[in-house]
A and B are shown apart, each in its own frame.
Chain A
Amino acid sequence: KQEVTQIPAALSVPEGENLVLNCSFTDSAIYNLQWFRQDPGKGLTSLLLIQSSQREQTSGRLNASLDKSSGRSTLYIAASQPGDSATYLCAVMDSSYKLIFGSGTRLLVRP
């Protein structure tokens, strides 16, 4: 059974810092890995999708990497801003096309 783990559960950093969020999964048979952002009381917004054949994806200040063989992904946020404060969720699409989510990392960027 696929399990997705995110570390740390919470992170607080001063504005301007570069930071890394970690995601690990137990079964490497995935179609893709996705990073989402969730603001309090809101739905999820897709940030990046990495297909299983890819190693990384970039969007603005965000860079996500995927190492399928080791079951790991990282989300790198450069020059963090208070507006980046949110919960970040990692999800893998398993062999039955279902998204399996991690429990998230709650990020606070202090001004």
Chain B
Amino acid sequence: DAGVIQSPRHEVTEMGQEVTLRCKPISGHNSLFWYRQTMMRGLELLIYFNNNVPIDDSGMPEDRFSAKMPNASFSTLKIQPSEPRDSAVYFCASSFPGQGASTDTQYFGPGTRLTVL
């Protein structure tokens, strides 16, 4: 299995531009998570989906951020317009529908390093 796939791996953009990050979860996983990692705030959950439905988006910082999961094998995280404070590493993770959420291990992608100038 290729694991969780994220693209691009690196993104450099200018303030005000739209940024779209992409994620392909592991086949058969029904939960997908978007995280952001910064030196100041560590790793934070932004939003997660279960069976393609957004369950909790309370971690999404503001209306500039949006996420979609049109099908079980693809998700996007969009930032419009981007700001320098959005610079971070964004991780996508997916989990296997095991015996219950409490037993599910999350499998992380390699991340997208975003730099907003």
Contacts and interface: CB of A to CB of B under 8 A. Distances in A.
Nearest to A44: B108
Contacts of B101: 31, 93, 97
B91 interface: yes
Interface stretch (B14-22, B40-48, B61-69, B70-78): B40-48
B42 A102 contact: yes
Nearest to B40: A103
A89 interface: yes
Contact of B103 (A32, A44, A104): A32
Contacts of B103: 32, 49, 51
B96 to A, nearest CB: 11
Nearest to B113: A41
A108 to B, nearest CB: 18
Interface bracket on A: 20 to 34
B105 interface: yes
Interface in A88-107: 89, 91, 93, 96-104
Given A102-B42, A104-B42, A93 B102 contact: yes
A36 B93 CA distance: 13
Contact of B110 (A32, A42, A98, A103): A42
B42 A34 contact: no
Interface in B32-67: 33, 42-45, 48, 56
25 contacts: A31-B101, A31-B102, A32-B102, A32-B103, A34-B105, A36-B108, A43-B108, A43-B109, A43-B111, A44-B43, A44-B106, A44-B108, A46-B107, A51-B102, A51-B103, A52-B102, A93-B101, A93-B102, A96-B56, A99-B33, A99-B45, A101-B42, A101-B43, A101-B44, A103-B42
Interface of B: 4, 33, 42-45, 48, 56, 91, 93, 101-103, 105-111
